[in-house]
């Protein structure tokens, strides 16, 4: 039997590759197509459910926004009514500043300032206590400087 030439080997390899491609195409029957279509249908259903959920949430958000606006209006009216009742016959209290976070409620911010002062004073006293303890340790080390000994009782230099 004569030996194959390079061209003949190339033809054999191409026929083999073509046979593999045709075989894969024939074996990729309905099982994979069916699974792919099921997956596509599942994704469409999930997208539809997500869109429905988003629509429900949007309507709920709109309802909550309108309810909040109504409550804010009622709250403002109640504050004005309270101010009017408390200011009858008494000197008028100046309105709160716009930069004040409590300007909506009309409460004074003295309680907040007092809390900040207390916290600042507490931090200052803690700092002073830590400084005092550090100084005590330093002076204690100086006092014990002559009496320090190692484990054998010999003075440490």
- DSSP three-state, residue 155: strand
Residue 94 tokens read as 């100046």
Task: Count how many domains the chain has.
Answer: 1
Has residue 37 been placed in a domain? no
Query: Lowest-confidence range among 17-31, 50-64, 92-106?
Result: 92-106
Range of the domain at 121: 110-140
Has residue 120 been placed in a domain? yes
- Residue corresponding to tokens 């004569």: 2
Has residue 94 been placed in a domain? no
- DSSP three-state, residue 156: coil
Query: Lowest-confidence range among 28-32, 41-45, 103-107?
Result: 103-107
Spatial distance between the Cα atoms of 134 and 136, rounded to a whole number of angstroms: 5
| pLDDT for 75 | 87
Strand partners, 155: 149
77-128: per-residue pLDDT in tens?
A: 888 887 777 766 555 455 555 555 555 555 555 666 677 788 888 888 888 8
pLDDT at residue 53 greater than cutoff 70: yes
Has residue 115 been placed in a domain? yes
Nearest to 77 by CA among 110, 109, 106, 108: 106
pLDDT at residue 76 greater than cutoff 90: no
pTM of full prediction above 0.75: no
**Range among 56-65, 80-89, 97-106, 134-143 rated most confident:** 56-65
In order, the DSSP letters of 43-94 are HHHHHHHHHHHHHHHHHHHHHHHHHHHHHHHHHHHHHHHHHHHHHTTSPPPP
Has residue 134 been placed in a domain? yes
């Amino acid at each position: 039997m004569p030996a194959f030439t390079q061209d003949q080997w190339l033809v054999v390899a191409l026929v083999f590759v073509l046979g593999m491609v045709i075989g894969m195409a024939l074996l990729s029957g309905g099982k994979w197509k069916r699974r792919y279509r099921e997956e596509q249908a599942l994704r469409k259903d999930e997208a539809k459910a997500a869109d429905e959920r988003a629509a429900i949430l949007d309507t709920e958000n709109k309802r909550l926004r309108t309810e909040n606006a109504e409550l804010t209006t009622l709250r403002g009216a109640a504050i004005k009514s309270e101010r009017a009742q408390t200011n009858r016959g008494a000197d008028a209290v100046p309105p709160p500043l716009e930069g004040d976070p409590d300007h909506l409620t009309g409460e004074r911010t003295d309680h907040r300032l007092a809390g900040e002062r207390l916290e600042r004073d507490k931090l200052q006293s803690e700092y002073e206590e830590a400084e005092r303890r550090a100084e005590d340790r330093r002076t204690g080390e100086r006092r014990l400087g002559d009496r320090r000994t190692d484990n054998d009782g010999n003075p440490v230099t």
